[in-house]
Structure formats: C-alpha cells, structure tokens
Amino acid sequence: MKKRTYIFSLLFLSLCGVVIAQEEDNIGTETVTVVKPYSPTVSDAFKIKSSPSLNDSIVLQKKKINYSIFSVPVASTFTPAKGKASGVEKTPPPTLYNSYASVGLGNYNNALVDFYTSREFNRGEDLLDFGLTHTSSRGDLDSTPLDTDFYNTKLNASYAKKDRYMDWGAAIGLQHQLYNWYGIQSELFSEDEINAMDETQNYFNAEAKAHFHMEDSYFKSGTVLLRRFWDAAESAENRAVINPTFELPITEELITIAAKVDYVGGSFKNSDINIFDNQGEMKYGHLQAGVNPSLLILRDDLTINLGANIVYGLDIENSENNFYIYPAVTASYRVMDENVIAYGGIEGELKQNSYHDFVDENPYVSPTLHIRPTDQQYEGYLGLKGQLTSNVGYNLKGSYMAENRKPLFYQNTVNTTRTDEKSYYYGNSFQVFYDDVKTLGVFGEINVDVNRNFSLGVNAEFYDYDTETDNPAWNLPSIKGSLFMDYQITDQWYMGANLFYVGERDALTSVALTNNVPPTISYAPITLDGFFDANAHVGYRFNEQLSIFVKASNIANNNYQRWANFRVQGFQALAGVSYKFDF
C-alpha cells in the first residue's frame, strides 16, 4: 500500500511541473545585468601528509649485503723520492754606506771636494747629516789682465726627527764665495791703473732653517728661515721668513690657509755708482705680511684650487705701505688618464728681492744696489702634460706674465771719479734696473726613459718681452734650451752629458764724461752673442765603494760672454776619485 501511494505521488508532481512550465513560456523578456565577471579559481590540491604503510605479502623485502676485499700482498722495490722546491736566485741587496767623499783636480787649477755623512739613531727616528762641498779655480784668462779666481765653499749640518704624529728638523749652513770683478775693457786704462785695482770680492752667508709637519691637526706645517749675508765691501743684510700652514676640512672639501711674514733689511757702505760723489751709506728694509686662503675641490678627474693671495707690504726706510691682492687659482683635468692632462692657472705674488738672491743670479753685481720688491701682478698659463707612451713624457705650456719693478741687470758706468775701497767702478760690475715688463712665454719638454739604464731629455723656452720704458729687457735671452742624457753602460761604466743654449741678449754699457760741465753719462747698447755649452762625464766603479770619474766642461772651447766683458774659461777637464764608507 505504501509503495503504491509513493508511485502516485511521483506521477502527480511530474504532471504539475509540466503544467507550470507551459504557463511560464509566456512571461515575457527581462534584462539581466552581470555585476561581477566570472573569475574562476583553482583550489589547492589535497596532499597526503604521510605515506600509507603496505602490509602485503607480495612486496619483496630487501636483503642486506656485506662487501669484503680480498687482499693479495705484492712485493715492490719502488721508493718515491722526496719533493724539493725549485730554488730562485736572489739578487743581493745593495750595501748602503753612511758616508761619501769625492776629490777631483783639473786644468785651470780647478778643484773639487765633496764630503757627506749621515747617522741614524733610535731605529731611524732621528737623523743627523753633515755635508761639505768646495769648487774652485785659479786659472787666468787672456781676455783680461785681472785675476779671475773664484771658489765656493759650503758647510751644512742638519737634524731631523720623526714620530707618529709629527716630524720636524733643523739645519744650519755656512758659505764663503770669492769672485773677481775682472770684466774691464783694458784698453781704456793704463797699466798703473790696472795694477792699482782691488778687484776681489768675498761673500759670506750664515743661515738657520727649521721645518715641522703635524698629522691630525689643523696646524699642518711650517718653515722658518734666518739668514745673515755680508761681503768684503762692508755690506750686510738680514732676512727672516716664517711660513705657517693650516688645513680645515669642511664636508668633502679642504680649505688651506698659508700665512707669511717676510723681512729683509740691510745696508751698503757706498752710494749708487751713478752718483759722481760717493754720498755714503744706503739702507733698506722691507716687511711683508700675507695670507693665502685656498679651497681644494676634487671631482673625479678634475682638480681645482680656488684662492687669493693678500699681502701687506711696508717700506720701512721710506715709511711707505700698500695692500696687494693677487689671484691664486689653479686647475687640472685628466683628459685621457695619464696620457693627456690639461692644466692652467693664474697666480700672482709680491716677490721679496734681496742682495743675497741678486748675488746668486749674478755674482758680479756692485755693493751699491737699490733693493725693492717685485710686484708680480699675475701670471696666466695653460698647458698639456702626460705620457705619450709608458716611457715618454711631455710637457707643453704657454704663459703671459705682468710684473712691476722687475729687476734687470746692466753694466755700471765707468766712473773714475769714485774712490771707493773696492774697484767695481771701472765698468766691471752690474747694477739693478727696475722696469715694468710683460712677458709672453712658450715652454716645451720631452723626457724619454729608453730603459732603466738610459734616460734622455730635451726642453726649449721662447720669450717675448714688452717693457714700460721701451728699452730692451737687459740681459734676458729670447731663446733657451737644454739637452741631457744619463747612461748606465754596464755595472761598472756610466756616463752622462748635457748641452745648453742661451740666445742673444741686449746689454748696455756706459761711460761717465767727467770733462763735460756738468758731467754726463754716455750710454751704448750692445748685443751679446748666443752660445752653446757642452759638458760630459764618464766614470768607472771598481766595486760598491770605489770609483773614478772624468768631467769635461765647455767641450766646444767657446770663450763666450755670460755677462758683458766677462768671458768664461775654455775647455776644462777634471779627474777624480769617489769613495763610499761607513763612518
């Protein structure tokens, strides 16, 4: 009964569904808007966390296998040799000696003496040095009846100390030079006048120096110079120079402040040689105080130093003072690594002139000079330097410089009315003439290291001068050049040579016409010929300590005039011996 009732219920429901479906066919149309597009997703797969264990008699069980080696002894007579590293032949280090001595003699009675010794203390932290050099000549020249002797002797001693944060040192030096004012025109004077001349001049110099350098400090370094210079004509000069330097790092840049205090003062017993009557002592004194701040900028291949040089100058004797401001800007740029480096700058300074410096440049000056500083307003320059190849270097530079009160040398007047103790008023000495000069210059240099034993270099300079007075730049050449060579031929033989050329120079001679009323001076410009001078040396080393050498000077035997009426010695040869030792 229940089964029949279930069947009838199913039939009833089926009929009702057919009727309803027929009725909904006429319900009309309807728009359906899909709000969210269909985006199916993939559900994570169900992972079995553990492997089921099999308990089936059909699965085969693995059997454990034991392996063994069947060894059979074999007789052998082979014995391996022990390995040995291949030896490398070592070059013995050179023996260093703390002392050196050299002596040489040559024609014109030329002599050379050179001695040097050095001592270290406290494991190299302290160093004590002594040095003595002497060069002299007592030969005569056919071009003058006066003595042409000269000699130059120097004695130096220095002490240096280094520690972790500071190194410093001090040195003292003594020097004696002898020169003769031998450049007279002998046809202008009688034999008695020549015999009465005292043409010998002696220069003496005593100086003390000190330097120091500090690490990890704003006060970075400094130098001090004290000098006393005097001569046989009762001239005397004092010089004191102090140069401290400070460094201040600011972010990535570095500011350097260099200060300077420079004093020079002295006196000459006699007045200007152009004055007919000697009016007695001339005094001079100049003080400079300056500061040079600069900012160093480093950017990859570019280096720039921006600064200025500010100087206060005081003429003590004349009570005159002035402030000077000079540019101090330099820059360099690596165009092609080490092959091409472009550099340039514009710099100026108030250059302190001194009697000592004038004598170094021209020992035949008269002790009647006017000492003034040179106002170098600016020097602008551009250049290229670098390496053409790994062993060829070069440097090319063009420059333009403007200077006020540039010192130029020209001959003193022949003034026989003077009765000074020393005979420098016969047109055989030089005075200093200050002129405003603008100089255009070109410089070129090439250095070649053919190999470690042979080096060669050549350079040339060209100048064009423009003076305020429209006079020539007295005794300044327009062309200069030099060539040098060093060659280590073998372990024993070595040699070297240098050749230099100085072009024509304009000079000025003058004579005091005392018969005129009033007396006048007659000037006559002259031209000094250019000259070559070739020098060479060759040496032989018997061992590390003993060697001999031969030097030749003025090989072309050219008696040229370095200064007007001052001819040099002809061909000179000097032979000597050198010895190294521990003292």
Q: What is the pLDDT of residues 240-254, one digit of tens each?
A: 999 999 998 887 788
- Look at residue 121 in the predicted model and tell me its pLDDT: 86
Taking 70 as the pLDDT cut, the residues of the chain under it are 1-94, 514, 516-517
301: left (phi over 0), alpha (psi -120 to 50) or beta: alpha
Which residues have CB under 8 Å from 577's CB, separation 6+?
A: 102, 103, 104, 546, 547, 548, 549
Is the N-terminal amide bond of 407 cis, ω within 30° of 0?
no
- Look at residue 24 in the predicted model and tell me its pLDDT: 41
Contact (Cβ atoms closer than 8 angstroms) between residue 332 and residue 298: no
Q: Are strands 520-528 and 454-467 parallel, antiparallel or unpaired?
A: unpaired
- Look at residue 54 in the predicted model and tell me its pLDDT: 47
- Look at residue 6 in the predicted model and tell me its pLDDT: 46
- Look at residue 417 in the predicted model and tell me its pLDDT: 83
DSSP code, position 289 = E
Structure tokens at 208: 């003390």
Measured CA to CA, the distance from residue 205 to residue 102 in angstroms comes to 24
Measured CA to CA, the distance from residue 468 to residue 549 in angstroms comes to 50
The secondary element (H helix, E strand) that includes residue 2 is helix 2-24
pTM for this one? 0.82
Phi, psi dihedral angles at 3 (to 5 degrees): -65, -40
Strands (E) located in 452-530: 454-467, 479-487, 493-502, 505-513, 520-528
**Closest C-alpha to 532, from 564, 568, 496:** 568
Give, in order, the Cα–Cα distances in Å from 482 to each of 312, 470, 532. Answer: 39, 30, 9
Phi, psi dihedral angles at 471 (to 5 degrees): -85, 160
Q: Are strands 253-268 and 166-180 parallel, antiparallel or unpaired?
A: unpaired
Provide the 3-class DSSP secondary structure of residue 57: coil
Contact (Cβ atoms closer than 8 angstroms) between residue 263 and residue 242: no
